[in-house]
Amino acid sequence: MGTEPVLALPVIVLRAENLAQGWEDAVVATWERGTEIATQYDKPEDPPSRDATLILSVTDPFAEPRIHRALPGGIYDLEVYRQEVVDGIHDSWIDPEAGKWSYTYHERLAAYTPSPDSPPVDQLELMLTALARAPHTRRAQAILWKPGTDQADEHPPCLQRLWCRVIDDQLVMSAHIRSNDAFKAAYMNMYAFTELQKMLAEQLSQRLGQPISVGQYNHIVDSFHIYGSYFEEFRGFLHTLETRTFEQRTFTSDQVAPLIEEAREQIAASLAKDEPR
């Protein structure tokens, strides 16, 4: 038998029991198996990125330990991002004509406008309606890409689509992403998207009059990459894998609960003053 042809873009398929382990396994696999390729954000001195297509399935995204200590920023930043995605706390910052944000994930999900003259579409509401009518439907999805504007945007949305389905009274969700910074963004993405999954499950439970729990989470990425400019920092991360146990590399939700509560108070005060931090 002949040798299998080498894929130009490796496809990494992983399964994990919890979010922290899934993210950690994904970045290590990309480092070890990813192809070397330049990016549009490289500086002349940067080495090429490590890049792969990722299909990661997390069996229970709320299993502990849920939080990885190597997340970019801190717990405050994680909570801000969660509220941006789930609650839309920064949708008011969207003002591209003034040089501000051109979108947020929440705005695209909850107030999607296919064209400038179109009325906003609450895609999350449509997903819930579809699932309440037929929990096994394959049509409960929301899209984010706008062909007329995003192709020319310097920083177009990475998340492209969310898809949900109820199986055995559990809400399964898949996030489809065109481009994902594996080391500096992916964990926070996974965390926030699964928080959105939890919110949808809770609201669906109310509509159906029966408990719907959070089920499997799939993180599907066309380009899951580690930028060359991060390589030295990433090697430091790899060193922690050799010198610390998994428990030492992660937090449980209970461990960070006081920090999250403190962050929520700070965020609420900041929003009340309309003074972004």
Domain ranges of the chain: 11-273
What average pLDDT does this structure show over 125-135? 98
pLDDT band at 148 (very low <50, low <70, confident <90, very high): confident
Three-state DSSP state, 16: strand
CATH superfamily of this structure's domain 11-273:
Thymidylate synthase/dCMP hydroxymethylase domain (3.30.572.10)
What average pLDDT does this structure show over 146-151? 91
204 neighbors 171 (Cβ within 8 angstroms): yes
Percent of the chain whose pLDDT exceeds 70: 98
The average confidence (pLDDT) of the chain is 95
Which range (22-36, 88-102, 244-258) has the least confidence? 88-102
Closest by Cα among 112, 72, 121, 82 to 94: 112
65: preceding bond cis by omega (within 30 degrees): yes
pLDDT of 115? 86
Beta bridge partners of 55: 13, 220
- Could you give the CA distance from residue 81 to residue 139 in angstroms, rounded to a whole number? 27
The string of DSSP letters for 204-244 reads HHHHHTS--EEEEEEEEEEEEEE-GGGHHHHHHHHHHHHHS
What average pLDDT does this structure show over 26-30? 98
pLDDT digits (tens, 9 = 90+) for 32-86: 999 999 999 999 999 999 999 999 999 999 999 999 999 999 999 999 999 999 9
pLDDT band at 116 (very low <50, low <70, confident <90, very high): confident
Report CA 121 to chain centroid distance, whole Å.
Answer: 22
Is the pLDDT at 267 greater than 70? The verdict is yes
Exposure letters 152-161 (e unless 16+ CB within 10 A, then b): eeeebbbbbe
- Alpha-carbon distance values, 46 to 228, 229, 237 (Å): 5, 5, 19
221 neighbors 33 (Cβ within 8 angstroms): no
- Could you give the CA distance from residue 93 to residue 101 in angstroms, rounded to a whole number? 6
Is the pLDDT at 276 greater than 80? The verdict is no
pLDDT digits (tens, 9 = 90+) for 158-201: 999 999 999 999 999 999 999 999 999 999 999 999 999 999 99
What average pLDDT does this structure show over 270-276? 76
